[in-house]
Every structure is written in C-alpha cells, then in structure tokens.
Amino acid sequence: MTNERHNVSWGIRFLNSKLPSPGVGGMLLIEGSKRSTRYLTRNMICEELAKGRPVHWIDGGMGLDPSKLIRPLARKKRGIEVLDNLHACRGFTAHQIAEIIKRLASESPNDENLVKGRLIVISDLASMFADTQVKRAEGSAMLKESLSNIQYIAKKWNSLVLVTVNYQAKPFLPKSMKSELKNAASDRLTILSQSKGVITAKLHSIDM
C-alpha cells in the first residue's frame, strides 16, 4: 500500500491481484452484487474505524446495519466504541437521498461541528432513482445532480467517495443511468466473485 495519508486501504483479506489502494479526492464506483459490495465496503469502513478515523455512510439500499461491523472490528482488536466515529444516515426515497447528498455538498469547510472523514460510502445510490414510482426523466436528473455533488464533495473534503451499484438488482438501471455512473467515476472496481473472504475484482484504470 502506498502513502496512507493519501490513500485508503482496501481492508480485505485478499484480492487475486495486488491492486493499488484508491486515492482520495475522487469517486470510486464499485460494481457487483449487494452481498459482495457490502462485504467490501464494510471491511473498508472497519479499516478506517480501527485506525480512529471517522467514516460517513449514506445508505440508499436499506443495507445499513452497524452490527455487521462488530465482528470484523473484533478481528482488528477493536471494540464497539469505535462505532462512535461512524456517521450514518438512510434515505427512504430518491428525493431524500438526493437531498442528503446536496446538503453534504453545501456544508461549509469552516463549520467546526462538521466531522470530516476521508472515506464516504454511498451504498446503492442509483436504485431509488430507477424506481418505477419515479419518472424516468426526474430520476435521471436527480442522479446526474447527485453525481455532480459527489464529485464536488470528494474534492472539497479530500475524501474517497465509494458508490456501490448492482446492475442485476430490480428495478434494472437504464443504460443512460449506467453511463452517468461510469462517466462520473474517477475509477471503477468490478467485483467478479467473492467466496469465504476472497474477492476477485477488476480495477478498470489499469485493466487488471
């Protein structure tokens, strides 16, 4: 792993190829099943928490369960007290998710009450924007605005923003939304398989 001050460790036991750690200041799109993306992001969150660093988690897929972090933290010899550094919220609708991201982007860097972290996780971002109860044009517009805000947040706070997506989950994302996600990302990690803590993945920036 390179300079820890600028990079975030993967926090997983093994990748089939040794990938460089993702740098801060950009958005990393993690593509895969909910099971595999949640496994990876949980371990990255625990890596930061175990080192006493705050993490922000915005949940768009009803997967927020801090109790799932207790076991991996215990393996790092850390107790539940480090969960005090986890700042999490959940959006129940597309509008709520978009508003949460918008508010984070509008926060002032001079606000002493704002807890800054170098890792921000936004799980299942696009699923609500593709919901059949949201008009296609409106959902696309909210996704586009949210991705623009995410890029701004990453640079503003010098953080790595992880955005997870499952292309196989229903409702399926239209091609236009998939393109928006991929174009907005600084890099993409596609999880090809996961079994017993072993992840096989492809990092697109180096085609490895």
- pLDDT tens-digit map of 70-96: 999 999 999 999 999 999 999 899 999
Question: Does position 5 have pLDDT exceeding 80, yes or no?
Answer: no
Q: Which of 66, 20, 15, 75 is nearest to 45 (CA)?
A: 66
Pairwise pLDDT comparison (114 vs 180), residue with the higher score? 180
Q: Mean pLDDT, to the nearest integer, of 9-27?
A: 66
Integer Cα distance of 134 and 125 in angstroms: 14
Q: What is the pTM of this model?
A: 0.89
Nearby residues of 100 by Cβ (< 8 Å), 6 or more positions away: 58, 89, 91
**Per-residue confidence (pLDDT) for residue 113, from 0 to 100:** 63
Question: Does position 1 have pLDDT exceeding 80, yes or no?
Answer: no
Integer Cα distance of 130 and 41 in angstroms: 22
Pairwise pLDDT comparison (3 vs 88), residue with the higher score? 88
Q: Mean pLDDT, to the nearest integer, of 160-186?
A: 94
Q: Mean pLDDT, to the nearest integer, of 2-23?
A: 57
Lowest mean pLDDT among 45-54, 110-119, 184-193: 110-119
Lowest mean pLDDT among 11-20, 34-43, 50-59: 11-20
Q: What is the per-residue DSSP string for 49-68?
A: HHTT--EEEEESSS---GGG
**Per-residue confidence (pLDDT) for residue 2, from 0 to 100:** 34
Q: Which of 86, 77, 16, 101 is nearest to 44 (CA)?
A: 86
**Per-residue confidence (pLDDT) for residue 12, from 0 to 100:** 52
Q: What are 23's two structure tokens?
A: 């740098």
